[in-house]
Amino acid sequence: MEFYKYHGCGNDFILVDGRNIQNGFNNSLIERMCHRRFGVGADGFMILSLVSDYDFEMKYYNSDGRASSFCGNGGRCIVKFAQDLGIIRDRATFLFEEKLYSATLDGESISLYMNNVDSILDENGVFVLDTGSPHHVAFIENIDSFDLIGYARRIRFSDSFPDGINVNIVEHVTSNQIKMRTYERGVEDETYSCGTGVVAAVLAASTRTKSKENQFKVETKGGQFDVEFQKEESRFHQIILKGPAEKVFQGTW
């Protein structure tokens, strides 16, 4: 089986062109391929397949082999993958779990149009929201020295979130610039970046500060993102996640 390795700001994925593959992928195979010591190594695994009326369909699995909710960096990487395969040119529309997503490409930079966010739960300055995947966002000073793993695992495995949740810690730099770190469920570790987490952090920062800014820069361990959005009261729409997506290598499993 031929596979391809891509990353978006250090958030890395194994991709497979599913158009000509008949056999299914079981959880143990995906987990084995994603293992960083005994496999290829990746935060997630994606299959691209064709679907009527759209450019392609995206199927996504975490590195534990389990199907997961939407992945923003994965979405940008699979769009770049589709371009490299010659399926699309400079724009794409694709399905994930029966939801429509669209993207535009400019070189290595991919702008992904995210789904609307209609509500954000504010619990004493800690925010919970769903940007395609569920996220917990806390604002903390000196995030570089903070024990993210210990903090995040207490929340991710708490009774409050029976299905688990991604955990983000965020620090303000300027009125429209933040830096952040993310612990991802399914990976069960800190990742170099998380696309849906970046969007969640920006929307939480906008809500927390009541900022009038609608464009933010976000610094993650793996690189920088730009996020744009429109806001009406507590509802966010026209959300765009922009950042790089690059092919690393390809091989045969």
Q: pLDDT tens for residues 2-33?
A: 999 999 999 999 999 999 886 678 999 999 99
Token code pair at residue 57: 């369909």
φ and ψ at residue 87, rounded to 5 degrees: -80, -35
Active site residue 194: yes
Is the pLDDT confidence value at 60 over 80?
Answer: yes
Options 3.30.300.10, 3.40.630.10, 3.40.50.2000, 3.10.310.10; which CATH number does 121-237 get?
3.10.310.10
- pLDDT for residue 205: 97
Specify whether the CB–CB gap between 130 and 117 falls below 8 A.
Answer: yes
Region 104-113: mean pLDDT is 95
Tens-place pLDDT, residues 76-98: 999 999 999 999 999 999 999 99
- pLDDT for residue 20: 80
Indicate the pTM of the whole model. 0.95
Nearest to 79 by CA among 103, 114, 60, 107: 103
Q: Give the list of residues 6+ apart from residue 253 with CB closer than 8 angstroms, or none.
A: 1, 2, 3, 33, 40
Beta strands 2-8 and 246-252 are antiparallel
Specify whether the CB–CB gap between 86 and 77 falls below 8 A.
Answer: no
Percent with pLDDT over 90 in the chain: 94
Q: Does the domain formed by 2-114+245-252 have CATH 3.50.50.60?
A: no
Q: Which of 9, 34, 77, 194 is catalytic?
A: 194
251 - beta bridge partners? 3
2-114+245-252 and 121-237: identical CATH topology: yes
Token code pair at residue 28: 């143990």
Region 225-249: mean pLDDT is 96
- pLDDT for residue 107: 86
- pLDDT for residue 22: 67
**Domain ranges across the chain:** 2-114+245-252, 121-237
Tens-place pLDDT, residues 202-219: 999 999 999 899 999 999
